Structure 1
Amino acid sequence: MKRITYWPQAYLGFPMNWGAILGWIAIKGSLDYAIILPMYAGAICWTLVYDTIYAHQDRKDDLKAGVKSTAIKFGHNTKYWLSAFGAACIGSLALSGYNAGLAWPYYPFLAAAAGQLGWQISGVDLSDGSDCNRKFVSNKWFGAYIFGGILFGQLASR
Structure 2
Amino acid sequence: MKHLKILILIIFCFACKPYQNGKSDICLYEAGIPSVLTLQSNSFSTSDYGIIRGQILNRLDSLPINSAIIDLTEIGIFTDDNGKFSIDLAPDEYDIEFKALGFNSLSKRFDLRNKEIINLKVYLGVSDSWSDFSTDNPRKLKKVIRQQNKERKAKYGN
Compute the TM-score of the two structures, normalised by the length of structure 1.
0.27
Q: Which has the higher helix share?
A: 1
Q: Which has the higher strand share?
A: 2
Task: Name the structure, 1 or 2, with higher relative contact order (CA <8 Å, separation 6+).
Answer: 2
Looking at CA atoms only, which structure, 1 or 2, has the larger radius of gyration?
Answer: 2
